[in-house]
Chains A and B, each alone.
Chain A
Amino acid sequence: MTARSDGLQRFLLGLVGIGLFLGMWQVIGVYRLAGLTWPPLTDVLVFVADPSKRTLFARAITASFIAVVTGYGIGVIAGIALAMLGRVATVLKPGLDRLIAVIHAIPLVALAPLFMVAANRDSTPASIAALGVFYMIYVATTSGLNAASAAHRDVFTALGASPVTRFLRLELPAALPDIVSGMKLAIPVAFIGAIVGEWFGASRGLGLLMVSAMQNFQIPLLWSAVLIVTASSLALFGLMSLVERLTYGRYQ
């Protein structure tokens, strides 16, 4: 009962926090406290809801969304697959770890122009998103596959488990909480990757919209694009937090 009221209290405090944040945004905008480039929240919302802008936003959102989903999907699958490969083919593991660490050490922003010239420019956003997500998931899965306790490993050894059985019935389920946490943290990474990729000259998308709005001093448009990206990223992050909580409840 106390746990529930604690949860309720946290939820209410969270709502108050968000309310304060949005209220301050509005106040700063209305009184021009941060100058002309900070519009009130209501102006941005009216702009987003404006029917004449609907096609513009719909096109940009669709393009960005496809890039995020594609990049996220490829990154998650490749990350889990390579981490499993490293687990099964232990000879490859040290080399794989090092290669992936080196790739990760290169800033994604520095890779974007390379993708631009080397690959199709419209696949750059998804590619950059995939690369960031891949690293996150690879690390999470690798550490997750080591998460099974020594006692559980002993039980499997004593029961005469084959390596395949041990992997499928112990290591993989034990890795699930870590993989799901990785998938949660990878959501913002996928958005950053896609937006950065679009900045470098994709033909459509919210990132492109931001750049062009900035360069043409279309302040409400710029804020609208930022608002849409932030809201979507937060919504998906929240959804994954829920999945994470369910997984932890079951697997730990």
Chain B
Amino acid sequence: MTVPAIRLDHVGKSFALDGGKQFTALSDIDLSIGKGEFVALLGPSGCGKSTILRLVAALEAPSTGKVSIEGADPQALSRSHRLGVAFQDHALLPWLDVRANVALPFQVAGKKVDSARVAELIRLVGLSGFEKARPRQLSGGMRQRASIARALALQPEVLLLDEPFGALDAVTRRQMNVELQRIWSAQRITTLLVTHSVDEALFLADRVIVMSGRPGRIIRDITVPFERPRKPSVMRDPAFHQLVDELTLALEPEGEAE
């Protein structure tokens, strides 16, 4: 049996609230993600999907169960600079220009900056000509693209995307999805995307995991049938619409699901 790229083995996470109470964010999450697979975590706000991502990134430790990446502790991945992350908050350093921000992972890893790679990534995310711009001079969509370029800089083995386009308007968001699909198809990195957009999940992912909240748990695990590379026209496919309807229904709170 091959070791999955990402494995969450009956993972639970609870936080201590003020007043000594416990809040269970995640309960008994069991999930395996294969190498080179693009998985979307879909769910309403507060269902704990970002917590799963933070567990995989080793930014949090599970309360119960075990998270492993390629059979090892998730910290080993980030410590060996093989993890790429992009968050809803682009988290670019305001004092660095685009080029320096994309080059940052090299410096953090203590490696020589590969200028050709940095230039290539900037071109890949469509920011050529903006190398010397600072984050504040860019639009929201451009900042997210820079943030994704940064995440890809070291050719990571695992890419974690937490609502990277959550703050963008619908048109820009769709455009970014198309671009991310193009970028991803060229690299095929094991990717975990957190989103609350059904369209985004179906357009980008190989598998969609639907979650429900309080406590967060997995309620559906759907394989997306569409061929790659996907064009925006796939979103007009009747099969796409049917899956959108199905997932939207699954996301409804149980009481109103009739």
Contact = CB atoms under 8 A, between A and B. Distances in A.
Interface in A145-190: 149, 151-152, 154-162, 165, 169-170, 173, 176
Interface in A204-252: 250-252
Contacts of A161: 108
B85 A156 contact: no
Of the four ranges (under 10, 10 to 19, 20 to 34, 35 or more), the interface on chain A belongs to: 20 to 34
Interface string B102-116: 001101111000000
B236 interface: no
Contacts of A159: 78, 81, 83, 85, 104-105, 108-109
Contacts, number: 62
A160 B83 contact: yes
Contacts of B95: 173, 176, 250-251
B204 to A, nearest CB: 20
Interface string A62-86: 0000000000000000000000000
Interface SS of A by simple majority: helix
A170 B93 contact: yes
B89 interface: yes
B224 interface: no
Interface residues of B, number: 24
A133 B150 CA distance: 40
B109 A151 contact: no
A151 B93 contact: no
B79 interface: yes
Given A152-B93, A159-B78, A160-B79, A165 B107 contact: yes
B80 interface: yes
A154 B90 CA distance: 11
A251 B109 contact: no
Contacts of B89: 149, 151
Nearest to B160: A158
B250 to A, nearest CB: 30
Contact of A160 (B59, B87, B109): B109
A160 B85 contact: no
B59 A251 contact: no
A154 B87 contact: yes
- From A152, A154, A165, A169, name the one whose CB has the most chain B CB atoms within 10 angstroms: A154
A173 B58 contact: no
B91 A157 contact: no
Contact of A157 (B59, B80, B93): B59
Interface in A39-79: none
B107 A169 contact: yes
B75 to A, nearest CB: 9
A154 B91 contact: yes
Given A159-B105, A159-B109, A160-B78, A154 B93 contact: no
A154 B108 contact: no
B52 interface: no
B218 to A, nearest CB: 24
Given A169-B104, A169-B107, A169-B108, A157 B78 contact: yes
B94 interface: yes
B109 A154 contact: no
Contacts of A151: 87, 89, 91
B194 interface: no
A169 B110 CA distance: 12
B58 A157 contact: yes
A158 B57 contact: yes
A157 B84 CA distance: 11
Contacts of B78: 157-160
B5 to A, nearest CB: 16
B143 to A, nearest CB: 12
A27 B59 CA distance: 67
A158 B80 contact: no
7 contacts: A157-B59, A158-B58, A158-B84, A162-B110, A165-B108, A169-B104, A173-B93
Interface of B: 57-59, 78-81, 83-85, 87, 89, 91, 93-95, 104-105, 107-110, 134, 160
Given A149-B89, A155-B91, 15 more contacts: A151-B91, A152-B91, A154-B59, A155-B85, A155-B87, A157-B58, A158-B83, A158-B85, A159-B109, A160-B109, A161-B108, A162-B110, A165-B108, A173-B95, A250-B95
Q: Which 7 residue pairs spanning A and B have beta carbons closest together?
A: A151-B91, A158-B85, A151-B89, A159-B108, A160-B78, A160-B81, A161-B108
